[in-house]
Amino acid sequence: MADTTVDPSLEQLAISVVRGLAMDGPARARSGHQGTAMSLAPLAHVLWTRVLRYDAGAPDWPDRDRFILSCGHASILQYAMLHLTGHGLTLEDLERFRQWGSATPGHPEAGHTAGVEVTTGPLGQGFANGVGMAIAEQSLRARFGPDVCDHHIYAFVSDGDLSEGVSHEAASLAGHLGLDRLVYVYDDNHISIDGPTELALTDDAVKRFESYGWHVLDLGEAADDLDALEQGLLAARAEEDRPSLVVVRSHIASPSPDHTDDPAAHGLAFSADDIARTKEIMGLPADREFYVPDEVLALYREAGARGRVQREDWEQRSRGALSGREAEWEATLGARGLPGWTDALPVFGADDSPATRVASQKCVTSMIGNVPGLLGGGADLTGNTGTELPGRPVLEAGTPAGEQIHFGIREHAMGSVLVGAAHHGGVLPFGGTFLVFSDYMRGAVRLAALSQAKCVFVWSHDSVGVGEDGPTHQPVEHVMSLRLIPDLPVIRPADGNETAGAWRCAVEGDGPVALVLSRQNTPTLPVGAEVAAEGVARGGYVVRDAEDPEVVLVGTGTEVAVALEAADALVAEGRSVRVVSLPCWEHFAAQDAAYRAAVLPRSVPTVSVEAGATLGWERFADASVGIDRFGASAPGGEVMRRLGITPDAVAAAARSLLG
């Protein structure tokens, strides 16, 4: 409850200071969003000084409460609170809001600014990230006990967040799972960029979330009532069986005499005169920018340091609770395997020819118990995508230690949940669906790459080899479009051993990995498992060589086998042929120039083969065999043949180059 030792007038001054910073930062940058940050200043004050459990001096404390600003356009509010509470942001950082190289970018970015938990901005993503965080918190608490993990996830969400489809999926999943450590505050300000939200939104948010199974508290006109806000947050925190939504009717840009409830205040609405008049109303010096009096800074710094005692107590308690389990805890916290975990990975021999989705399932099964943070499943395609955790409990309400997640037909939310769980830490989250549905997940995948969230996207049925389901389910452009995302390793393994190598990269790496897997069987390459694993780690390698090759055939996935067959035909004609598997372009690009040239010498004519778009292959090949049209409904082998993904087509392309 409220700290009665704090002078209420000092609290009001502190809130006014936050509102002043919310105006000054965007005004200095001539870019940004002022109104929402101003209206939410009292809520932020209550959260950071009365409710949130954190230690500003140790922002990575594992058992801290998490805070997500899902309405990331109001980032100046979060930056102001991080500065004031002592997270390391300086007043100069606020003055450099939205500038090149600053610690205060336009939207919050995880890993860039201490105290920012996830990268938000695209509306709805932070909402769904929080669900992933709550899943991770629950998993750790169930496995290691409350002395090790016992905290809450809070988020501020806007009408824009609730409008986006991903919020519907994520809220439905959270309610189904009964995630009781999740507390969201809905800023119901009735304002959108185009005008009043009623132009396009007339949902009853209370009834909507009640129907999902959430605990809903409608506080009404309480945006400036500090005690009512605190009581609402504490009541939500006390809920033990379901997530909570606290609804607050706010007024954007309050207490501005010019722009309160003005849609223009969503963006950069305040002139210098507007700011001066608003500061006068709040009792701040009208001629002072970035004004923070000593007594306000002291108030917030005391709040920021208050959690140190809780953190030190946790360090003592958790040390005893983890006695004998230290290695497991360290592996879990780092989303890595226990020592020797790779020894359990399957090895595939010359007589094996599994689909890579089947090989991936064998890898996942081998990691149970060896990669202790493993947590995930499929979007209603668990068996199809090889994302089952055999013998492990299903995550559901009443089974918080469940490791198998049934995401349901919620690909959008699944991607964002994986990202949130990864940023929470303590789990290695993975989720699977068909590659063609990666389109639904793309926003989350992009943010995973941007923020380097360590999660695994498992996409199977990777080509027109899907067959009879037809062009709606046959990916053509997807692999190439995913390769366009910076800092996202896209691995399309050619056989079972490369698949095992891909999982090694995922577990031992530090960011997201995309696994692109086949529906159809594919033979084991004529190289050993260790060679294949090293080849995946390096992105590309020679799987069949010849002295002084006349031509190089390079492919990915099941088409490496096509290249090998084409090489047989060319060798029978007296040609000297090298075959290269290039499972991960991103890993290959990270190798030094000498290695890349040794694998794909520029002086040797090169033909690529991949059952997808050819755009981009000109980086490596002089001629490309691929598919630059949509597929067709027919058996997969026939579709491949009719669209030219055959050894004959590859051999013909090579002959044309050599001619």
Taking residues 406-428, report their average pLDDT. 98
pLDDT at 644: 97
pTM above 0.85, yes or no: yes
Pair 504, 572 in one domain? no
| Residue 222 in domain | yes
For residue 532, being part of any structural domain is answered with no
Look at residue 445 and tell me if it is in a domain: yes
* β-bridge pairing 428-434 and 404-406: unpaired
Strands 541-544 and 577-581 turn out to be antiparallel
Cβ pair 168, 216 in contact under 8 A: no
Co-location of 366 and 478 in the same domain: yes
The answer on 277 and 424 residing in a single domain is: no
Domain harbouring 593, CATH code: 3.40.50.920
Given 310, 330, 349, the domain boundary residue is: 310
276 and 352 in a common domain: no
Q: Give per-residue pLDDT as tens, 516-564.
A: 999 999 999 999 999 999 999 999 999 999 999 999 999 999 999 999 9
DSSP readout, 417-471? Answer: HHHHHHHH-S-EEEEEEEGGGHHHHHHHHHHHHHHT---EEEEE--SGGG-TT-T
pLDDT tens figures, 267-278: 999 999 999 999
257, 291, 310 — which closes off a domain?
310
Q: Are residues 408 and 555 in the same domain?
A: no
Q: Over the chain, what is the mean pLDDT? A: 97
Report if residue 575 sits inside a domain. yes
Higher confidence at residue 3 or residue 379? 379
The per-residue pLDDT for range 19-68, each reduced to its tens digit, is: 999 999 999 999 999 999 999 999 999 999 999 999 999 999 999 999 99
Please give the average per-residue pLDDT across 466-494, as a whole number.
98
Residue-wise pLDDT for 97-121, tens only, equals: 999 999 999 999 999 999 999 999 9
Which residues are part of the catalytic machinery? 411
If one counts the domains in the chain, the total is: 3
Model confidence at 1, in pLDDT bands (50, 70, 90)?
Answer: very low
Residue 281 and residue 392 in one domain: no
Domain that holds residue 582: 539-658
pLDDT at res. 6: 86
Please indicate, yes or no, whether residues 508 and 544 belong to a single structural domain of this protein.
no
Backbone angles phi, psi at 19, to 5 degrees: -65, -35
- 228-234 long-range contacts (CB < 8 A, ≥24 apart) are 229/42, 229/43, 229/46, 230/1, 230/2, 230/46, 230/50, 230/51, 231/1, 232/185, 233/46, 233/47, 233/50, 233/51, 233/154, 233/183, 233/185, 234/1, 234/51
Question: Which tens digits make up the pLDDT trace of 154-186?
Answer: 999 999 999 999 999 999 999 999 999 999 999
Which among 74, 23, 40 has a CA at the least distance from the CA of 277? 23
Domain end call among 467, 482, 516: 516
Q: Does residue 3 register a pLDDT over 80?
A: no
Among residues 464, 466, 529, the alpha carbon closest in space to that of 493 is found at: 529
Could you tell me if 382 and 497 lie in one domain? yes
Report yes or no on 332 lying in a domain: no
316 lies in a domain? no
Question: What three-state secondary structure class fits 67?
Answer: strand
Average pLDDT on 473-485 reads 98
Residue 140 forms part of a structural domain: yes
- What confidence score (pLDDT) does residue 5 get? 78
Per-residue confidence (pLDDT) for residue 187, from 0 to 100: 98
Quick check: 144 pLDDT over 70? yes
Residue 550 and residue 592 share a domain: yes
Rounded distance, CA 150 to CA 156, Å? 21
Give me the pLDDT at residue 4, please: 56
CATH (domain of 115)? 3.40.50.970
List all residues 6 or more positions away from 446 whose beta carbon is below 8 Å from its beta carbon.
485
The Cα–Cα gap between 522 and 504 comes to 20
423: exposed, middle or buried (C-beta count within 10 Å: 0-12, 13-18, 19+)?
A: buried
User: In the chain, what percentage of residues exceed pLDDT 70?
Assistant: 99
**CA 88/CA 90 separation, integer angstroms:** 6
Instruction: Examine the domain organization and report whether 547 and 503 are in the same domain.
Output: no
Beta strands 374-378 and 404-406: pairing type? parallel
Please check whether residues 292 and 193 belong to one and the same domain: yes
Model pLDDT for residues 223-258, shown as the tens digit of each residue: 999 999 999 999 999 999 999 999 999 999 999 999
Mean pLDDT of 57-84: 98
Residue 624, pLDDT > 80, answer: yes
pLDDT tens, position by position, 196-217: 999 999 999 999 999 999 999 9
Mean pLDDT of 470-483: 98
